[in-house]
Amino acid sequence: MNILEVKKLRVAYGREEALRDISFSLEKGETLAVLGPNGSGKTTLFKAILGVIPYEGEVIFDKNIRIGYVPQKLDIERDLPITVEEFLLLKEGIMSRHPKHLTHTVYEALDFVHLPASFAKKRFSELSSGELQRVMISWALIDHPDLLLFDEPTASVDVAGQETIYNLLDNLRRREKFALLLISHDLTVVYHYATKVVCLNKTQICFGSPRDVLTTEELRKLYGEQKFYTHTHNH
């Protein structure tokens, strides 16, 4: 059953066309990776799905869907005098208008991302990039979303922590039973974690199972002759 369906999506900024003719679907429990070079429209696609920019076409959600979103960059000052608990309670305050949707406490949300309860009292300025990323994931999960959008999960995480974040997301997806829509540049990640992939370069290059659609020919269409990330998948 589709939790999200995008049909003939088009986004333009004035006369400049950012995306055109984008169509794909995502079922409950699946992971869909959005793949493409810089400037290809990946983040624009997320903004359209979230309804924060105008678009043409259709974005169809399953009934009563709850959506979580983790941006690539958090527009908040790191030296803001706020604790992790206070930050997460902001989300709880928002959701208090719909109390039946608030299914997890602050401490449960921290436990999901393997952070101890003591982190609730830490200030933002005390968090490493990796810890902040985990706090953002817990923010997105506190109201038990059906669909989680994640814009480049490891953009601010060192190489050593990247695999940990992806494993964490995959385990949470299975445990919490949400669908995951993520942006990635790494083909190894796409092959290992994604059930579907949509390839963008302002228009749609491919959509389907990574095994089926990520051929050398399709990747050349996507990236041109420039070097792209290698992967460990074997046909």
Q: Total domain count for the chain?
A: 2
| DSSP-derived secondary structure letter, 97 | T
Q: In this structure, what CATH number is given to the domain that contains residue 191? A: 3.40.50.300
For residue 162, tell me if it sits in a domain. no
pLDDT value, residue 77: 66
Nearby residues of 186 by Cβ (< 8 Å), 6 or more positions away: 229, 231
Handedness of CA 175, 76, 94, 44 (dihedral sign): negative
Nearby residues of 120 by Cβ (< 8 Å), 6 or more positions away: 83, 84, 85, 88, 106, 107, 110
For residue 6, tell me if it sits in a domain. yes
**Backbone angle region of 15, left / alpha / beta, with phi > 0 → left and psi within -120 to 50 → alpha:** alpha
Domain hosting 95: range is 70-145
Four-point Cα dihedral 26, 205, 43, 137, nearest 10: 40
For residue 171, tell me if it sits in a domain. no
> Within this chain, do residues 140 and 151 fall inside the same structural domain, yes or no?
no
> Within this chain, do residues 112 and 87 fall inside the same structural domain, yes or no?
yes
Which residue, chain included where needed, has tokens 């949509």? Answer: 198
pLDDT at 234 over 60: no
Distance CA 183, CA 36 (A): 9
Q: Which of 102, 123, 145 is the last residue of a domain?
A: 145
187-215 pLDDT, tens per residue? 888 999 999 999 999 999 999 999 999 99
DSSP string, 120-189: GG-BGGG--HHHHHHHHHHHHHTT--SEEEES-TTTTS-HHHHHHHHHHHHHHHHHHT-EEEEE-S-HHH
- Percent of the chain beyond pLDDT 90? 49
For residue 168, tell me if it sits in a domain. no
> Within this chain, do residues 100 and 211 fall inside the same structural domain, yes or no?
no
> Within this chain, do residues 77 and 54 fall inside the same structural domain, yes or no?
no
> Within this chain, do residues 57 and 151 fall inside the same structural domain, yes or no?
yes
14-64 pLDDT, tens per residue? 989 999 999 999 999 999 999 999 899 999 999 999 999 999 999 999 998
> Within this chain, do residues 40 and 89 fall inside the same structural domain, yes or no?
no
> Within this chain, do residues 79 and 9 fall inside the same structural domain, yes or no?
no
For residue 50, tell me if it sits in a domain. yes
Structure tokens at 194: 């994604």
> Within this chain, do residues 207 and 229 fall inside the same structural domain, yes or no?
yes
101 or 125, which is more confident?
Answer: 125
6 or 168, which is more confident?
Answer: 6
> Within this chain, do residues 114 and 29 fall inside the same structural domain, yes or no?
no
> Within this chain, do residues 15 and 89 fall inside the same structural domain, yes or no?
no
User: Distances from the Cα of 12 to the Cαs of 15, 71, 121, 155, 222, in angstroms?
Assistant: 7, 21, 44, 26, 20
72-87 pLDDT, tens per residue? 766 566 677 889 988 8
For residue 167, tell me if it sits in a domain. no
Of 91, 207, 86, 193, residue with least CA distance to 145: 91
> Within this chain, do residues 8 and 74 fall inside the same structural domain, yes or no?
no
Of 129, 127, 139, 153, residue with least CA distance to 87: 139
133 or 6, which is more confident?
Answer: 6
Of 98, 182, 95, 178, residue with least CA distance to 133: 182
> Within this chain, do residues 41 and 112 fall inside the same structural domain, yes or no?
no
pLDDT at 153 over 70: no
Element of type H or E holding 26: strand 16-27
